[in-house]
Amino acid sequence: MQARKIALGFVAVVAVAAAAGWFSLDKETRGVLATLPTNKDLLFWNQDQRDAAFRALDHLTLVAKNHVVPAGPAPSPLPPGPPLALPVDVDAFMAGQRSAAVLVVHDGKLRLERYGLGFDASGRWTSFSVAKSVTSMLVGAALKDGYIRSMDDKLTDYIPEMKGSAYEVVTVRQLLTMTSGVRWIENYSDPTSDVARFNNHKPEDGVDALVSYLRQLPRAAPPGTRWNYSTGETNLVGILVAQATKKPLATYLSEKIWVPAGMEQQATWILSRTGKEISGCCLQATPRDYARFGQFVLDGAKVNGQSIVPDGWLTEATTSRVSIDQPGRGYGYQWWTWDDGTFRAIGIFGQGIFLDPKRRLVIVTNANWAGGARDSEAARKRDAFYKAVQKAVDDEATKAKSP
């Protein structure tokens, strides 16, 4: 279901900016995008256009612009480990996924690093909804820093423009777990859905476009009683953090994670029409830095031995807070959770960060699925790959214990 949920405002950003960004692209990318997408919905771009655009979204935004997330001067090491003996054909897996990158980090060591689609370690690939989990970590940091007082604070304490709306009784916790109860329909095949109507919404003067649209929506269920996936609400989380910290999200991300966690390259975060980072989407980073982010979370989000989030908060964030009516799965604070203790950041078209605390595993996948944003067969095969990596690690551990 979530595969058809693209970050709110993204399609309009790209449509407006594509022509302006065209001449900033390298010759190879211009060749692939020889016919610029004319449909505003990237779900209908052809495969070649997506191959080029997913590595170049921050070049296609000269009009919409992006904020840079600076990295620090000292990248954290990703030392190579021995090649992982996988019981699967990695080449075949990557071909089936149409993979741009597959990385496996085990116990802090890079055990597998492969690239495809002409992509390499130096490029930035877009995250899509993987950015939601990054945004979640910024909420935790803002709590630790005192910018947000409590997860049970009302949203309107930080975004007063939502007073008088259905969001007036919604808490920060309910927003993070997507249980606000406010009606939201995110269906890109339906021109009457909220995501389609939002793209044509004209906000009141001086009001953020997202706030302007969301505050007119009706209530569908009591707060905290129903889970409903909404990229619009993740974008609202981003506005909350920015207003609480009085900093752009890109700046706060650099301060709290990108620099202290030792990311190797700067990232970029695409902006909405009203100049705010699209926090439910559209962070661009290198695959190795996605892996570093995963390792940072796996290590307890610590800087100099101290976590950037409150005690116990990370466990709450990465374990089920709400049922999503799928056996063995749940939803935390913008993280997808599994009952076996693993959790994931997931984005459409095959983007993902898989974390397994028990095995000390981080698996990064960047891709452009042939079946489009929603490719259930590709998702199934990716799950099988995760299990194959887990088995390889378990087999190593068993062999190491043998006399």
Report the pLDDT value the prediction gives residue 105, as an integer from 0 to 100.
98
Q: Given strand 283-285, what is the order of strands in its sheet?
A: 66-69, 267-270, 283-285, 125-126
Q: Using one digit for the tens of pLDDT, what is the confidence trace for 185-228?
A: 877 567 777 766 766 677 777 888 888 899 999 999 999 999 99
Q: What CATH number is associated with residue 124? A: 3.40.710.10
Q: Given strand 322-323, what is the order of strands in its sheet?
A: 109-115, 99-106, 361-367, 351-356, 343-347, 336-338, 329-331, 322-323
Q: How many domains does the chain have?
A: 1
Coil, strand or helix: which one is 65?
coil
Any domain includes 87: yes
Q: What is d(CA 332, CA 369) in angstroms, rounded to the nearest whole number? A: 26
Any domain includes 2: no
Any domain includes 387: yes
Question: Is the per-residue pLDDT at 30 higher than 80?
Answer: no
Report the pLDDT value the prediction gives residue 372, as an integer from 0 to 100.
87
Question: CA triplet 349, 353, 355: central angle to 5 degrees?
Answer: 145
Question: Is the per-residue pLDDT at 17 higher than 80?
Answer: no
Any domain includes 1: no
Phi/psi-derived region of residue 5, left when phi > 0, alpha when psi is between -120 and 50, beta in every other case = beta
Q: What is d(CA 155, CA 224) in angstroms, rounded to the nearest whole number? A: 14
Q: What is d(CA 128, CA 116) in angstroms, rounded to the nearest whole number? A: 19
Any domain includes 84: yes
Banded pLDDT at 2 (limits 50, 70, 90): very low
Phi/psi-derived region of residue 90, left when phi > 0, alpha when psi is between -120 and 50, beta in every other case = alpha
Nearest to 54 by CA among 283, 317, 334, 313: 283
Any domain includes 13: yes
Q: What is d(CA 175, CA 172) in angstroms, rounded to the nearest whole number? A: 5
Any domain includes 222: yes
Q: Which domain holds residue 319?
A: 8-401
Any domain includes 200: yes
Lowest-pLDDT range, 32-36, 54-58, 99-103, 281-285? Answer: 32-36
Coil, strand or helix: which one is 217?
coil
Q: Which residues contact 168 (CB under 8 A, 6 or more apart)?
A: 154, 155, 156, 162
Banded pLDDT at 1 (limits 50, 70, 90): very low
